[in-house]
Amino acid sequence: MATLLAHLLAIISIKHFKTSQILLILASALQTILCGQVILSDTGWIFNAQNACLVVSWLSNIIVLISGFRLLVLRLLIHLIAITVLCWIYYLPITSIAHPYEWALDIHILFSIVAYSLLFVSSIVAVDLGYQIHKMKKNVFISQSMTINSLLKNEEKLFKLILFGWLFLTGALLTGIMFVNGFLAQGIGHKVLFSFLAWVLFAILIVGRLTKGWRGKTAIRLNLIAMSLLMLGFIGSYIVLDYLI
């Protein structure tokens, strides 16, 4: 409830950047404690759809703080997503069995979570920048701070997120193949397939950016398509395991 309240207060003060930033730091600190309580146990990881969303939301907060984004839509969405996940966990809790700690599996999980979080934030940034570009073309300024220079700086940050996210996704796929038994088996084969397709699309986007200077709508659309595939494989797999099987 304290974490939820901090996120709500951050939304209320969203137009006052410093106040909202302090509340985001507080919410992230509280969410750190919450992640430890619900995910870690004496016997191993407790990982399900809810916990996966919770830790991605938490890391997204940290990434936004470190990156120094001032984008209003981005900051609003990460708070709303956190609140949604917190309500989901509180009102519809899922009972899951803990998976024993194994260094190889732990490395794979670490790479996967960091990759999904970085690329998830990049997709929200892409949506925000797409909205700004649309408004700029109509000569409608969302705020005084929205300028071509700020747009280009945020776009540069976006591609850094994509690059680092893609590198961690590469690590997740490689560690999965090397360390996870049955990684390519039928049970999670669709998850691997969607992740690999997303990896290819992000790779194409990075190459296009470096060689042809892709930006704007082309980069945003490709980013969102790749992230949709990644989320379908990642969150979709957990939802199927938790609710349908």
Q: What is the pLDDT of residue 225?
A: 93
Give the type of residue at 227: M
Contacts of 245 (CB under 8 A, 6+ apart): none
Give the type of residue at 157: K
- The pLDDT of residue 186 is above 70: no
- The pLDDT of residue 144 is above 60: no
Of the candidates 33, 107, 118, the one whose C-alpha atom is nearest the C-alpha of residue 67 is: 118
Inter-CA distances, 94 with 7, 39, 40, 51, Å: 23, 12, 15, 9
pLDDT digits (tens, 9 = 90+) for 160-173: 999 999 999 999 99
Of the candidates 215, 223, 226, the one whose C-alpha atom is nearest the C-alpha of residue 133 is: 215
Token pair 């969607």 in the structure block, residue: 194
Q: Tell me the average pLDDT across 165-185.
A: 84
Eight-state DSSP code of residue 98: P
pLDDT band at residue 214 under the 50/70/90 scheme = confident
Q: What is the pLDDT of residue 219?
A: 85
Tokens of 191: 């998850």
Of the candidates 114, 86, 89, 78, the one whose C-alpha atom is nearest the C-alpha of residue 234 is: 114
Q: What is the pLDDT of residue 34?
A: 95
d(CA 143, CA 166) in angstroms, rounded, equals 32
What is the pTM for the complete model shown?
0.89
Q: What is the pLDDT of residue 182?
A: 64
pLDDT digits (tens, 9 = 90+) for 15-66: 899 999 999 999 999 999 999 999 988 888 888 888 989 999 999 999 999 9
d(CA 187, CA 191) in angstroms, rounded, equals 9
Residue 214: what are its φ and ψ, rounded to 5°?
Answer: -55, 135
pLDDT band at residue 146 under the 50/70/90 scheme = low
Look at 20-24, 64-68, 106-110, 184-188 and tell me which has the smallest mean pLDDT: 184-188
Asked if 116 contacts 69 with a C-beta cutoff of 8 angstroms, the reply is: no
Q: Tell me the average pLDDT across 87-103.
A: 86
pLDDT band at residue 198 under the 50/70/90 scheme = very high
Eight-state DSSP code of residue 41: -
